[in-house]
Structure 1
Amino acid sequence: MSKFLIDRFSNLEPYVPGEQPKEKKYIKLNTNEAPYPPSPNVVDAIDKVVVAGLNLYCDPDTTKLTKIIADFYDVDFNEVFIGNGSDEVLALIMMAFVDEKTKVCFPDITYGFYRVFSKSFDLDAKEVPLKDDFTIDINDYINCGRNIIIANPNAPTGLVLTHEEIEKILISNQDRVVVIDEAYVDFGSKSCIELLDKHPNLIVVQTFSKSRNLAGARIGFAIASKEIIEDLNKMKFSITPYNINTMSQIAGVESVKDNDYFEKCNNKVIATRERTKKELRKLGFRVTDSKTNFIFVTHDSISGKEYYSELRKHGILTRHFNDKRINEYVRISIGTDEEMDKVIEVTKKILYEAVNYNFVVGK
């Protein structure tokens, strides 16, 4: 740390991304990336268009991408904001709408960037404990008098609030924004976008990193009222007007166009997730009812840290969190069927070695 860093950042704990291996070959199930490549149309479009245009700035208004997202979700063009991943969208939301007067709250177990942004921007943030079963008690948010951020489905639990529950939160906090972060919504839950007409304080945030197989393109977006989108654009154009590069804009457009591929990949992930849940439960794991592209698991006979470490020794990367409420759990991203078969195979060996269980393969 240099002597120039201002005091409020001296104790900042930055967000820690999942491990990105650079040497050994791993089955990478630690950062909830898609197990399948983007639509072939994405690659074709980039090959044809990009090279000739990289000497010029990208479209700061992301016109084509904004329009196709608006059309896809049946909203107005002026109700869509595009960010450099949903992380930038969330950061700009906090910068625009949260201060010492309005404040913010979110669950204590959720996406780690909410906490990091709050500390980075020196915000009054309240972390609301989940219930013992990791579900959100909506009564904690009713008339709370703060801006609210809820990941739905939540991470790393994968659990979902209903629209009825979210509407109760919206109705009781009409003078504050309610942000529903839907990074994983396409894997089996329902988007709140349809609630926007009734609730002008709602901001729905999504990403292309998960269900659209474009984590490396860094595309996120918000859908909200025209007035809220104007506010977000004011923030963007004051900081980073060219935030979505030319290649990413092209990739995003082609991804949305190829809806058949989008649905095919997501359906495969969902089917693999449900099969993996079933197999791990047979082995004695407790598995949350995840509606995401990951599962959250624990076993009475092996600690979360040990299970994570043993999987890593066998060439499988997963995610373990040190938070005392969830440190007995491991989050496992859903890979291909072949990759998840390997997880099950290795898990049987780990359990056998750990507690001398004699599981029969395939039983």
Structure 2
Amino acid sequence: MSRFWSPVVHSLIPYVAGEQPAMSDIAKLNTNENPYGPSPLALEAISKAVSDTLRLYPDPTARGLRAAIAASYGLDKDEVFIGNGSDEVLAHTFQALLNHEEPLLFPDITYSFYPTYCRLYGIEFREVALDARMRVRVADYRQSCGAIILPNPNAPTGIGLPIADIETLVREHPEQVVVIDEAYVDFGGESAIPLVRKYRNLLVVQTFSKSRGLAGLRVGFAVGQRPLIEALERVKDSFNSYPIDRLTLAGAIAAWEDRDWFERHRALVIATRGRLGIALQALGFVVLPSSANFVFARHASKPGADLAAELRSRGVLIRRFSGARISDFLRISIGTDAECDRLLAALDDILR
């Protein structure tokens, strides 16, 4: 602590990012990165963008990328907002749209950045408990609130809600903003973006980090009707007018337009997820149904902390959270088949 800190800093509990280890020869299954890397067309576009033009500022409005995303959904580019990763998009969203007199609602087991943003921006919040099966129940959100944010699929559980439930939630709260955080939607969830035209209170957030293999570039976006997007732009332009650099814009546009790479590699992740889930169950794990690029599982008898430590000693990194209801669960990112085989071999050795 320091006497030079602003008052808000003393009360902050920062988000803890997943480990990026310096060690080599590991199976890195702890941060939900894409195991296959980005589209070759994205790498080519980035390489071509390395030129004398880097002396110039990038397009502050990211027009080309916004237009590419909007065209995919039959929307106008002014209904798309681009940010430096979906975390920045969410940060601006919390400031611009979720700070009201009544509390913000989100699940008690969810993306742990949500309460961090609330403390940073002075937002009152209320956590809504998942049910006994770790599922979101839309009926539990039928209460007074200032706004709602839900990941769909949820993280770290991986469980998704059908689009009909999302529409019910949005329809039942016409005077509150409902934010659907779809970081993992491409691995089996149903996107709420088609509902944007119908509901003025709906904002949908996605990322290029997972299904497009661009976690290292930091690109995220939001889709919503113009008044919501304008609010995000006003916050962004009061903070940083140039959050997306020229290389990132070039790579993101190429990645978005390479639909063949996207479809082929998300299918690989989905197939490996299914195989891994079955193998974990055979080893005595309870595996929650996942629509994400990870599984959330606990062993019937072995504590999660012990398993995580044993796996690490064998060069396999997974993620474990310390929450009361989930401390024995392991969140395991879907890697290549070889990485998942290494995980399973390590678990078999540990459990024997």
Q: Tell me the TM-score normalized by structure 2.
A: 0.98
8 Å CA contact 1:102, 1:176 repeated in 2? no
1:288 aligns with 2:296: no
| Counterpart in the other structure of 1:359 | none
1:282–1:23 distance in 2 versus 1, CA, 3 Å = closer
Inter-partner Cα distance in structure 2 for 1:234 and 1:100: 17
Alignment partner, residue 253 of structure 2: 253
- Counting aligned pairs with the same residue, the percent is 45
Partners of 1:91 and 1:233 lie apart in 2 by 12
The structural deviation recorded for 1:98 is: 2.7
The Cα of 1:24 is off from its aligned counterpart by 4.0
**Is the 1:86–1:207 contact (alpha carbons within 8 Å) kept by the matching residues of 2?**
yes
Secondary structure at the aligned position of 1:231 is classed as helix
Q: Which letter maps to 1:337?
A: D
Cα deviation digits, residues 101-159 of structure 1 (max 9, x gap): 14311001000111100011111011111112110121121243320000000000000
4+ residue runs over 4 A deviation: none
In structure 2, how many angstroms separate the alpha carbons of the residues matched to 1:253 and 1:24?
32
Which residue of structure 2 aligns with residue 37 of structure 1? Answer: 37
Deviates more, 1:22-31 or 1:214-223: 22-31
Q: d(CA) in 1 for partners of 2:230 and 2:37?
A: 34
Match of 2:311 in 1: 311
How far apart are residue 6 of structure 1 and its match?
2.2
State the alpha-carbon separation in 2 of the partners of residues 123 and 6 from structure 1: 17
Distance 1:43 1:90 in 2: 27
Question: Distance between the aligned counterparts of 1:99 and 1:75, measured in 2?
Answer: 27
Is 2:98 aligned against 1:98? yes
Q: Which residue of 2 aligns with 1:358?
A: none
Deviation at 1:9, TM superposition (A): 2.4
Q: For the residues of structure 2 that align with 1:143 and 1:76, how far apart are their CA atoms? A: 33
Aligned to 1:49: 49
Distance 2:99 2:275 in 1: 45
Match runs of 1:199-214 below 5 Å: 199-214=199-214
- How is 1:214-225 mapped onto 2 (pairs within 5 angstroms)? 214-225=214-225
Q: Separation in 2 of the partners of 1:2 and 1:24?
A: 37
The CA deviation at 1:208 is 0.2
Say which is worse superposed, 326-335 or 19-28, in terms of deviation: 19-28
| Alignment correspondent of 1:232 | 232
Q: Deviations over 1:51-110 (max 9, x none)?
A: 322111111010111111111222111110001111111111110123341431100100
2:313 is aligned with what amino acid? Answer: K
Q: 1:59 is matched with which residue?
A: 59
* Amino acid paired to 1:166: I
Aligned to 1:17: 17
Decide whether aligned partners of structure 1 residues 98 and 188 sit closer, same or farther in structure 2, where only a CA change above 3 A counts: closer
SS in 2 for 1:292: coil
Partner of 1:138: 138
* Structure 1 position 23, deviation (Å): 3.0
The separation in 2 between residues aligned to 1:267 and 1:91, in whole angstroms, is 31
The answer on whether the counterparts of 2:27 and 2:316 sit within 8 Å (CA) in structure 1 is yes
Cross-structure match for 1:330: 330
Aligned equivalents of 1:36, 1:338: Cα separation in 2: 12
Q: Do residues 244 (structure 1) and 232 (structure 2) align?
A: no
What secondary structure, in the 3-state scheme, does the structure 1 residue paired with 2:123 have? coil
The answer to whether the 8 Å contact 2:102/2:144 transfers is: no
The aligned counterpart of 1:2 is 2
Q: Which whole-Å CA distance do the structure 2 matches of 1:127 and 1:328 have between them?
A: 21
The range that moved more, 67-76 or 3-12, is 3-12
Residue 345 (structure 1) aligns with: 345
Q: Is the contact between residue 27 and residue 343 of structure 2 (CA under 8 Å) also seen in structure 1?
A: no
| Secondary structure, aligned partner of 1:216 | coil
Matching residue's letter, 1:235 = V
Asked if structure 2 preserves the Cα contact closer than 8 Å seen for 1:144 and 1:173, the reply is no
Moved more, 6-15 or 126-135: 6-15
Task: Indicate conservation of the 8 Å contact 1:143/1:172, yes or no.
Answer: no
Aligned to 1:159: 159
1:295 and 1:334 in contact (8 A); partners too: yes
Maintained 8 Å contact 1:179/1:203: yes
Aligned residues: CA RMSD: 1.1
5 Å-filtered alignment, 1:71-220, equals 71-220=71-220
Q: 1:360: which partner in 2?
A: none
Aligned length: 352
Residue pair 2:159, 2:291 contacting (<8 A) in 1 also: yes
Mind listing any 5+ residue stretches in structure 2 that lack a counterpart?
none
SS at match of 1:149: strand
Please tell me whether the aligned partners of residues 29 and 334 of structure 2 are also in contact (alpha carbons under 8 angstroms).
Answer: yes
How far apart are the structure 2 equivalents of 1:85 and 1:224? 17
Answer yes or no: is the 8 Å Cα contact 1:29–1:333 preserved in 2.
yes
Task: Give the secondary-structure state (helix, strand or coil) at the position aligned to 1:82.
Answer: strand
Structure 1 segments unaligned to the other structure (5+ residues) = 353-363
The superposition leaves residues 266-287 of structure 1 with CA deviations (integer Å, 9 ceiling, x where unpaired) of: 0000000000001111111100
